[in-house]
Structure 1
Amino acid sequence: MLIIRENTECLYIKQEELLTDENGNKYAVATRKITERASARAGQMAFTMALQRDAMRKTLEPEQRIWKNKPRVTIVHKSNVLSITDGLWRETVRRVHESNPDFKDRVDIEEQLVDSMVYRMFREPDAFDVIVAPNMYGDIISDGAAALVGSLGLVPSANVGDNFAVGEPVHGSAPDIAGKNIANPIAAIRSAAMLLENKGYAEAAAAIYRAADSVLDEGKWSTPDLGGTATTTQVTDAVCKRL
């Protein structure tokens, strides 16, 4: 599955206040910001990527295609409770789909409440193709999805803006293991491939993906997060050798 996470707003704008009521009791207030513009950008990216993935799948042999259905985008929200903020989110993403004939004709859409989304993701991961979610939901879902494949150390990501892109692993930093040469480098390597892919170097990216997959398939080069004893350097060298 591919998760498209809006990455500039929601609760992550960090507008919080710690206040005190007339009885001296503390309470905290956080502002959640959802804009039509950012929601539309995320929706546009989700539908565009759904079509790109479908085009890529058609280059594979039928038995190699994990997803065999029409491309589908799952819109994640909690508008049954947050009717205004998540309501604007879901309505905007749906409008992107409806207003573009290519999206409307070639991409299916569905909606999923975020709590049942997490439940279904663990029970039926093969039921999802592309997922699009507001910032906080996307953060939670992407880390949860990493557990499905065994480790955060395997999962790549990219922050993609209108004029630039930054490739980075989903996992962020791990200062507790800095300098120990035990971090799994596959996520960082795959993130570099995603960056190349975004800039139009599809063949180079595909070569990196194949090399990383080959190392994992061999089963010999596993870092401690996957239950092995290989070092960061050994895994990196193994991928480079296959390239």
Structure 2
Amino acid sequence: MTTITVIRGDGIGPEIMDATLHVLDAMQLGLSYEDADAGMVALEKHGELLPEATLASIAKNKIALKSPLTTPVGGGFTSINVALRKHFDLYANVRPATCFPNTKSRFSSGVDLITVRENTQGVYIGEGQEVTADGETAVLTSRVTRHGSERIVRYAFDLARKTGRKKVTVVHKANIMKSTSGLFLKTAREVAAQYPDIQCNEMIVDNTCMQLVMKPEQFDIIVTTNLFGDIISDLCAGLVGGLGLAPGANIGTDVAIFEAVHGSAPDIAGKGVANPCALLLGAVQMLDHLGMPEQAARLRKAIIGTLEAKDSLTPDLGGEGSTMSFAKAIASRI
């Protein structure tokens, strides 16, 4: 039996987690769950946003499934997601974007790519943040290392080999950010030379965004630095129907956390209409990581089958179902 740390999260988090666990239980995978608190729920219950007990649970179980956590804009506490990535050195953020049937997407076919984002460096390190006393100037430090660049690019090429993908696109801004992005690109070229079986091309980030909108089918795996990867992965989600269909995996050497990447959506919390697909697709990634590829394929097939049948879909997908009725429809196809 494998024990997974479960973080139910804020807003719609508990609802989509209940739906996801309902489907996983129907698969009879021998999984057990250890609940842990984080976010606003943890603050209310324990007086802190990320309790030591939660960190200890993740460290012990090595695997966590996480619903969205609330992060305020422009002030308040630092992102708990960033804190988790830094604490466990979850250096690889892996975001697939694939076309699904009967979704309100820009592309009905042709999009099947993965964004591999460096998850611990760049401007997200949160160091050197300073605003002058007069409030007129703000400064933020960005740091990129050869080690960090090497391991994320190697992860992308290894993922290409593992999944049978043929091309890795290195996305950068080395023409302007010659130090940080320049080091990333130089290191990526060195790593790419060690994978002659995988095609590699380079693309400046602004051109990448344009090309993704115009011809997304040209991409297979994208690897890039933290901020660029954050933006590009959301853009890719928009191509295939939005964040409601966007899972994410945060991978480290010892620990992995799988999640829905959308927000906590407090405006619909408690209404039972939240789409659980993103977290369910995160569970697909989790099962692959756990060495259960056949079970992962079963779950993915059941999700696609339910979308094709338009069975109990939530309102965002054009249906009249609820979060749990959608989950039960998926579970019936397992």
TM-score (structure 1 length as normaliser) = 0.87
CA-to-aligned-CA distance 1:91-121 (integer Å, 9 cap, x gap):
11221122x2xx22x1011111111111110
Letter paired with 1:157: G
Equivalences for 1:1-243 in 2 at 5 Å? Answer: 1-15=113-127, 16-20=129-133, 26-54=136-164, 71-98=166-193, 100=194, 103-104=195-196, 106-243=197-334
Report the secondary structure of 2:275's partner residue. coil
Segments of structure 2 that go 5 or more residues without pairing to the other structure are: 1-112
Q: Percent identity?
A: 40
Using the TM superposition, give the Cα deviation of residue 177 of structure 1 relative to its aligned residue in structure 2, in angstroms.
Answer: 1.9
Q: Distance in 1 between matches of 2:144 and 2:223?
A: 14
Using the TM superposition, give the Cα deviation of residue 25 of structure 1 relative to its aligned residue in structure 2, in angstroms.
Answer: 6.5
Report the secondary structure of 2:296's partner residue. helix
Native 8 Å contact 1:151 1:226 kept in 2: no
Q: Distance in 2 between matches of 1:179 and 1:35?
A: 44
Q: Distance in 2 between matches of 1:161 and 1:25?
A: 38
Letter paired with 1:83: K
The answer for the alignment partner of 1:65 in structure 2 is none
Q: Distance in 2 between matches of 1:38 and 1:224?
A: 41
Q: Distance in 2 between matches of 1:171 and 1:8?
A: 19
Native 8 Å contact 1:7 1:135 kept in 2: yes
Report the secondary structure of 2:272's partner residue. coil
Letter paired with 1:143: D
Using the TM superposition, give the Cα deviation of residue 219 of structure 1 relative to its aligned residue in structure 2, in angstroms.
Answer: 2.3
Report the secondary structure of 2:325's partner residue. helix
TM-score (structure 2 length as normaliser) = 0.64
The answer for the alignment partner of 2:55 in structure 1 is none
Letter paired with 1:206: A
Native 8 Å contact 2:314 2:323 kept in 1: yes
Q: Distance in 2 between matches of 1:130 and 1:80?
A: 22
Letter paired with 1:46: A
Report the secondary structure of 1:206's partner residue. helix
Runs of 4+ in 1 over 6 A off after TM superposition: none
Native 8 Å contact 2:311 2:329 kept in 1: no
Q: Distance in 2 between matches of 1:28 and 1:137?
A: 20
Q: Distance in 1 between matches of 2:298 and 2:242?
A: 22
Q: Distance in 1 between matches of 2:173 and 2:315?
A: 37
- Determine which structure has the larger helix proportion and give its number: 1
Q: Distance in 1 between matches of 2:121 and 2:135?
A: 29
Native 8 Å contact 1:6 1:38 kept in 2: yes
Q: Distance in 2 between matches of 1:88 and 1:177?
A: 44
Native 8 Å contact 2:258 2:285 kept in 1: yes
Native 8 Å contact 1:151 1:225 kept in 2: no
Using the TM superposition, give the Cα deviation of residue 35 of structure 1 relative to its aligned residue in structure 2, in angstroms.
Answer: 1.2
Which structure's relative contact order is higher, taking Cα pairs within 8 Å and 6+ residues apart? 2
Using the TM superposition, give the Cα deviation of residue 3 of structure 1 relative to its aligned residue in structure 2, in angstroms.
Answer: 0.6
Report the secondary structure of 2:132's partner residue. strand
Q: Distance in 2 between matches of 1:28 and 1:185?
A: 39
CA RMSD, 1 decimal? 1.4
